[in-house]
Chain A
Amino acid sequence: MSGTSRPWLLTSPGRWVALYFFSVVIIAALKLTGAIESPVGFILLAAATCLLLPLARRRSDGCISRAMADYNRRIVFSSLGYVLGLGIAVTLWNSYELSDALVFAISLLPTVPTFGIIWAMARYLAEEQDEYLRHRMIMAALVALGVVLAIGIFYGFLEMFELVPHIWAWWVLPVWAIGLGLAQLWQKVRGS
């Protein structure tokens, strides 16, 4: 079957990514409104992450470099590991009375895949042969870091003065990822 006969939504990895973000928003809305509980939410989130698999399968071509194809694959599998690890860890913690050693161990389940994400970024910057693409990624990462620092500092003081509730420190990863995505979107819009 030729590619042109497939529905237009499925012909580009970028559209799968858009579908993934749309799914995450829907799942988050269902969770926040109490329509679904934690285990179901994590299962749905893991299923939604599978929407990114076409991105991981994408080979190097005229549009993306080999380093970017490798980066995409590493990020997708690390993200899948993160969601699964987080779901398993939260479910175990909610269901059983665990010893400190086991709590330490289950904390590693979502943590190790996030180290994979950081490693994937480091490998990309080391492997990317195209200096302009590397420059763009570095600038986007710096913007993401700025977003994390700005929000972290502001929220930290709001929390210190007891205006907002305490939140767990792992928020830095999703905020950094959102910052990175927005910076890359901005680069695309500006054509820079």
Chain B
Amino acid sequence: MKNRLKVLRAERDWSQQDLATRLEVSRQSVNAIETGRYDPSLPLAFRIADVFGLAIEDIFLRGE
């Protein structure tokens, strides 16, 4: 699943580690989600949405 994590992170000038700290996950997790190698669970997707102050569908895109 595609997502806008990298763009949203760049807009806020956050490193992957910064985002990982906010989400209380590992940097590897952020990297895997960002590059589309891992789709987060619904609870983690909601946490990501909360951190960015956006809706889930504004971050994760439908399709491959």
Give chain A's interface residues, CB within 8 Å of chain B. Answer: 62, 65, 129-133, 135, 191-192
Contact = CB atoms under 8 A, between A and B. Distances in A.
A116 to B, nearest CB: 26
A131 B27 contact: no
Interface residues of B, number: 15
Contacts of A132: 25-26, 28-29, 32-33, 38, 40
Nearest to B41: A131
Contacts of B64: none
Contacts, number: 30
A132 B17 CA distance: 15
B4 interface: no
Contact of A192 (B17, B24, B25, B32): B32
A133 B37 contact: no
Given A62-B17, A192-B32, A133 B26 contact: yes
Contact of A62 (B24, B27, B37): B27
Nearest to B27: A62
A179 B26 CA distance: 24
A131 B32 CA distance: 11
Given A62-B17, A192-B32, A129 B38 contact: no
Which of B32, B41, B44 has most chain A Cβ within 10 Å? B32
Interface in B9-31: 17, 24-29, 31
Nearest to B38: A132
A134 B19 CA distance: 19
A65 B40 CA distance: 18
Contacts of B40: 131-132
A138 B26 CA distance: 17
B48 to A, nearest CB: 12
A124 B20 CA distance: 20
A129 B32 contact: no
Contacts of B44: 131
A133 B44 CA distance: 13
B37 A131 contact: no
